[in-house]
Amino acid sequence: MFFDTTTMQAGMEGRLADKMGFEGGWNDRLLDVLPFGPDDATAGSESELQVAVMGSPDCVDLPLRIRESSFYQNVARRTVAGDTSSHTLLELERYLEAGPDAVWENSWVRFPLGRLNTFARHTLERDLLADKSDPASGRRKDSADFFFVRDGEDWLRIPISYLLKLSLADLAGSGVTSEVRRLAESFLAHFLNDNTSPETFSFYPVPMDDAFQGGRGIARETSQRFLLSQLLLDHANEGFGLLEYGQQAMIYFAPLPPARQKRLNEIIPDAHYRELFMNPCLSGWDRGEAKKEYMGLCHRMLSRSQLNTIAKLRESGILTNNLVVLPNTSNTCLANNGTHISLGSKRLGELLHADGDFGVTDEKYLGDLVIKIVEHFLPLFVGTYSAAPMRMDFEDFHPEKALGFLPHELDYTHLRMIWRRWKKKAKLKVCGRPLTPFGPPLMDRTIARIFGLRGDFIPDFRLLDYMTTLMSTHRCAALDGEVGNDLRLKRDLAAMGVFHESMSTYLLYKQRSFEVMGFSGFEGRFYSLFDSLEADMRPACSNS
């Protein structure tokens, strides 16, 4: 028996149109009830930010922790004993050698605990609970990691993502008016963290109507939130004594992992990398320690997943011999930073809240349909409003490195086509014959100099360096309109060693369901760095 899927789809969409109130023929009056129309849409954003601490290696937390770590001490001991090569120790020393104005990206900060006022201390103690919803749960098991004693005084060490929240709490408890304090307390939960970096999200949903001039409202709210983050960091530098103790914390927009962090990642084992850089999740979740374990799972899974791309490159015919450069077993992709823009529909929220004919199944069907349409046009937006530019040298043009996570995201036909055209664009030819690097860096650099091979410029490297989306398998579709399809797909991918079923579904454009988020809409996750929030983020929101 054969089914006319086009007729079935048209019938489904007709029923949904009736449920949403589009009865009869189309007319201009129905524009007023369209979801995401000018008077219906609201917008919010999440900003993932880069942080660094400037100071001498004798004062800053990151170099101090590396020197105090068992890994460093074991390497030093084995090198002195002659049991291992001195290469690792020399590379570590080069990383740690710096002057008084050295910059240490994603370092934590340390300062005397007594610098916090009563309300900031209360906020800290609550966030150290194993379960914030249960005051009797006691402290987290890892709470000792945040404290140490120096010269008989208790000190606190925390990531800058949490420093922002403590700074706001400190200001809220410093004798301000009750109205200002209530406002500050309502903002505390908006300062949390991404896997490595600080993350802030909108203080309020911004209407996308004429009064807010389309996307200008959300662009301004994002600017104000960033300005507040800078002011909070200034307060922490002064009020908590960071400058006094040789540390200057900084925060800024940057989409790609720092070069020095990548260099360190190639030296140290993955467990030590997670210990140094994965966020402890002190803010934003009732069970922060469980969220921290989830962050670690993501890092382990994505690092292993990138190793698994080699097999797919062999199967696709891109790798034709055993001459490969193994990707690092510890990946820095979770230090990527972007801006997520969410659009919500008040109309869809009212339909779902009314508990009528329009339900979760209908929301899912429409959501998957919209995502498929948006994904078709994504090439028009990537690199137009935002970018993460990077120049890749000739020596980095190994497909197992250059293609990143694309083998898990694209069909083999598309993967071969992209690699073939990319080599042509980068002019990787010698005497008319295609040439890719051999592996030994010295040899590849020499060849590049002799033949003038300059590599290539990539407009948005963040989207290559991170698993941005999950490709459907033959058994499970990513976007087939059925509730639960994402879980089935993740289980299928987990069996292949590509993903883990407990991880959030990765998509460039993701549905935000009313049941989970409290609003119905979509989140654009493909934005990297906006050159200007006013000139680029505003039209990006208006055209989303």
- Say whether both 86 and 191 belong to one domain: yes
Per-residue pLDDT tens digits of the chain, which is 544 residues long: 333 334 445 556 667 777 776 665 666 666 667 888 878 899 999 999 999 999 999 999 999 999 999 999 999 999 999 888 899 999 999 999 887 889 999 999 999 999 999 999 999 999 999 999 999 999 999 999 999 999 999 999 999 999 999 999 999 999 899 999 999 999 999 999 988 999 999 999 999 887 777 789 999 999 999 999 999 999 999 999 999 999 999 999 999 999 999 999 999 999 999 999 999 999 999 999 999 999 999 999 999 998 899 999 999 999 888 778 877 778 899 999 999 999 999 989 988 888 778 889 999 999 999 999 999 898 888 889 999 999 999 998 999 889 999 999 999 999 999 999 999 999 988 888 888 888 888 888 999 999 999 899 999 999 999 999 999 998 898 899 999 999 999 999 999 889 999 999 999 999 999 999 999 999 999 999 999 999 999 999 887 6
Domain boundary among 409, 436, 458: 458
Please check whether residue 504 lies inside any domain of the structure: no
Note whether 139 and 145 are within 8 A (CB): no
pTM here is 0.91
H helix count then E strand count, the chain: 19, 19
Give yes or no: residues 124 and 271 share one domain. yes
For residue 243, tell me if it sits in a domain. yes
User: Among all chains, which residue has been given the structure tokens 């090569």?
Assistant: 85
At 50, give phi and psi (nearest 5°): -95, 145
The answer to whether residue 146 sits within a structural domain is yes
Q: Do 87 and 212 reside in the same domain of the chain?
A: yes
Q: Which of 257, 278, 294 is the last residue of a domain?
A: 294
199 and 84 inside one domain: yes
Q: Do residue 408 and residue 283 come from a single domain?
A: no
Same domain, residue pair 78 and 223: yes
Number of domains in the chain: 2
Considering the domain architecture, whether residues 409 and 270 belong to the same structural domain is answered as: no
Whether residue 418 sits in one domain with residue 269: no
Residue 164 domain-assigned?
Answer: yes
Q: Does residue 208 belong to any structural domain of this protein?
A: yes
Continuous H helices in 269-359: 270-277, 288-316, 346-353
Do both 283 and 419 map to the same domain? no
Q: Which of 279, 294, 309 is the endpoint of a domain?
A: 294
Encoding tokens for residue 445? 């650099």
The answer to the question of residue 518 being in a domain is no
Q: By residue range, what is the domain housing residue 424? A: 391-458
Residue 5 has a pLDDT of 39
283 and 395 co-located in one domain: no
Segments of 338-458 assigned E as strands: 339-345, 386-387, 390-392, 429-430, 433-434, 456-458
CB 338 within 8 A of CB 46: no
406 part of a folded domain: yes
Residue of 114, 219, 111 lying closest to 162 (CA atoms): 111
For residue 463, being part of any structural domain is answered with no
Identify the three-state secondary structure at position 388. Answer: strand
